[in-house]
């Protein structure tokens, strides 16, 4: 098992940048893997990926140095076990609101030798039995990221981050802003206060802060101290690339009934 260089970066307080994988075609991770992202987050919560499709998306990254991570649908030991068994180097667990939920997430990612609950049957992650050192290394190499998406989670953050084994506390800005009653107002004082709380408490706990970011905001978030940064998603990169390219065509008038026509003005 190769070293998890993303965890090493975060321990040195060096920012890492990845992107969300929502499109289920293996050419997406194969092509984007050439650009030097630190990690891809294959999304099993909101994107329509199956466990089989997630494995295919990982396999198409075979020539890429980018690490495959997976967001599971829920804080469920079976869902977490399955994505680790197909070779994920880390797991993001959504909707963590209490210390007990964080402990459950960490234990699902670790084998009993580290106090966890993960069952022993890793298949692809173990290179089908050819990786003799896998069980000696894996509990230290898997990255455990929890999502902080509610006002409740912000209020309980000190207790949540006291759980040993949490590597990343990751803000979902849309869900958090909705929970705070300021949906999509990412510059609202209440949102800024919540983000500062996360930055302060993660620093005190030795946990890396993370956030899902637009292209326009990512440098600002990194300057604030966010270390685990998602540069939008594959879908957004496709849309932004199309918008930038089509805007360069002088004199062309897009079909006005197209859903994205207003973005081209």
Cα 193-9-87 angle, rounded to 5 deg: 105
What's the DSSP call for residue 41? E
Beta carbons within 10 angstroms of residue 226's beta carbon: 24
Rounded distance, CA 135 to CA 132, Å?
Answer: 8
Beta carbons within 10 angstroms of residue 180's beta carbon: 17
The string of DSSP letters for 153-214 reads: HHHTHHHHTTSTT--EEEE-HHHHHHHTT-TT-TTSHHHHHHHHHHHHHHHHHT-EEEEEE-
Q: Are 42 and 21 in contact (CB under 8 A)?
A: yes
User: What token pair was written down for 28?
Assistant: 């997406």
Q: Of residues 25, 46, 49, 188, which has the active-site annotation?
A: 46
Is 25 an active-site residue?
no
Rounded distance, CA 179 to CA 94, Å?
Answer: 14
H helical segments located in 33-133? 51-59, 77-85, 99-109
Closest CA to 206 of 170, 155, 168: 168
Rg of the chain taking only CA atoms, in angstroms:
19
Beta bridge partners of 170: 147, 210
Q: Mind telling me the catalytic residues?
A: 46
């Amino acid at each position: 098992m190769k070293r998890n260089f993303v965890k090493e970066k975060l321990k040195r307080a060096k920012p890492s940048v990845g992107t969300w994988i929502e499109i289920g075609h293996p050419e997406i991770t194969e092509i984007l893997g050439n650009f030097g992202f630190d990690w891809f987050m294959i999304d099993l919560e909101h994107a329509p990926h199956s466990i089989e499709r997630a494995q295919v998306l990982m396999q198409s990254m075979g020539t890429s140095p980018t690490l495959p991570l997976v967001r599971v649908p829920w804080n469920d030991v079976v869902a977490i076990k399955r994505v680790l068994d197909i070779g994920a180097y880390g797991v993001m667990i959504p909707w963590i609101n209490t210390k007990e939920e964080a402990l459950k997430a960490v234990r699902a990612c670790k084998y009993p030798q580290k106090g966890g609950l993960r069952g022993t049957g890793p298949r692809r992650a173990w290179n089908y039995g050819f990786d003799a050192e896998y069980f000696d290394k894996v509990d230290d190499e898997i990255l455990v990221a929890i999502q902080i998406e509610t006002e409740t989670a912000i209020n309980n953050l000190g207790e949540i981050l006291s759980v040993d084994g949490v590597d990343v506390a990751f803000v979902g800005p849309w869900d958090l802003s909705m929970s705070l009653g300021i949906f999509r107002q990412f510059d609202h004082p209440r949102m800024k206060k919540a983000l500062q709380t996360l930055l302060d408490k993660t620093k005190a706990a030795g946990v890396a802060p993370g956030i899902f970011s637009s292209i326009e905001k990512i440098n600002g978030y990194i300057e604030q101290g966010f270390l685990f940064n998602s540069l939008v998603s594959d879908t957004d990169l496709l849309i932004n690339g199309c918008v930038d390219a089509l805007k360069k065509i002088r004199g062309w008038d897009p079909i006005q009934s197209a859903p994205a026509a207003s973005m081209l003005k």
